A and B are shown apart, each in its own frame.
Chain A
């Protein structure tokens, strides 16, 4: 059971836009920044979005992130077949149960 909640799956057709949600609480998303990671099959996760909405160098501007309160979203516009991957949200958690990084359970994106 993951601390952050994501839908297990999402899908979209090439060229269209898809969003993936991530829900947390006041001790993680509510008080810290959110990051998103993309994991292609058989590979290590790759940083996609950091600090809620910042893209590392080399990440296309088709990918965007947002945060509001205790929830965050990843949007992918102009969907491409190579976007088919697992996507994870993550944030630092300041709860009394222990400091550390918490992840969402991951969303498997299928490009139809």
Chain B
């Protein structure tokens, strides 16, 4: 069973940098999956932050792109998120998740990609406050 566990400071000062790490067990981070971050402000819905592949390739929510840095540590089987210049609006529960990307084929013909989050971490609350 794949398991993910977020870790990092629960309190960050405004204008500081939020740093979180997601430890993966039950799967190799070097396999053909993407690894993602999703956040949820208190009482609100889910927001995709971005995803990273073990080669370092990544995609990121345009609204956050200028402040987001993601990385992979294959030796520790974990990946990380840094969000700079944080404000109170960045207060949220941050989830890491495995993002499965599978080719959809019909009778041998490629039809597109099936993409979904299949395993999630329990989430880490990060509060931005002085």
**Chain A complexes with chain B:** yes
Indicate if the CB atoms of B116 and A50 lie closer than 8 Å.
yes
B67-98 vs A, Cβ < 8 Å mask (1 yes, 0 no): 00000000000000000000000000001000
Q: With A44-B120, A44-B122, A106-B46 given, is the CB distance from A51 to B62 under 8 Å?
A: no
Q: Which chain A residues in 78-108 approach chain B with CB under 8 Å? A: 88, 90, 92, 97-106
CA distance A33 to B101 in the complex (A): 11
A30: chain B residues at CB < 8 Å are none
A35 touches B117 (CB 8 A): yes
Partner of B45, one of A31, A51, A56, A105: A105
At the interface, yes or no: A71 with Cβ under 8 Å from chain B? no
B95 near A56 with CB under 8 A, answer no
CB within 8 Å of B: which of A24-63? 31-33, 35, 37, 43-47, 50-51, 56
Asked whether A32 lies within 8 Å of B62 as measured between CB atoms, the reply is no
Contact between chains at B121 and A47 (CB < 8 Å): no
Interface of B is mostly: strand
Given contacts A44-B95, A103-B46, A103-B48, contact A33 B117 (CB under 8 A): no
Instruction: State whether A45 and B120 are in contact (beta carbons under 8 Å apart), knowing that A103-B46, A103-B47 are contacts in the complex.
Output: yes
A44 to B116, CA, bound (A): 15
Q: Are B48 and A98 in contact (CB under 8 A)?
A: no
**Chain B interface residue number, banded:** 20 to 34
Render B32-53 as a binary contact track against A, CB cut-off 8 A, 1 for contact: 0000101000000111101100
Min Cβ gap A19→B in Å is: 19
Q: How many residues of A contact B (CB 8 A)?
A: 27
Residue in chain B with minimal CB distance to A102: B48
Q: Do the beta carbons of B45 and A33 come within 8 Å of each other?
A: no
Q: Are B95 and A32 in contact (CB under 8 A)?
A: no
With A98-B61, A103-B46, A106-B46 known as contacts, the answer to whether A46 contacts B120 (CB < 8 A) is: yes
Q: Which residues in B have some Cβ–Cβ distance to A below 8 Å?
A: 36, 38, 45-48, 50-51, 59-62, 95, 99, 104, 112-118, 120-123
Chain A contact residues, CB within 8 Å of chain B: 2, 31-33, 35, 37, 43-47, 50-51, 56, 88, 90, 92, 97-106
Known contacts A98-B61, A101-B38; 12 further A-B pairs (Cβ under 8 A): A33-B104, A33-B114, A35-B117, A45-B117, A46-B120, A50-B118, A51-B104, A88-B45, A98-B62, A100-B62, A103-B45, A106-B46
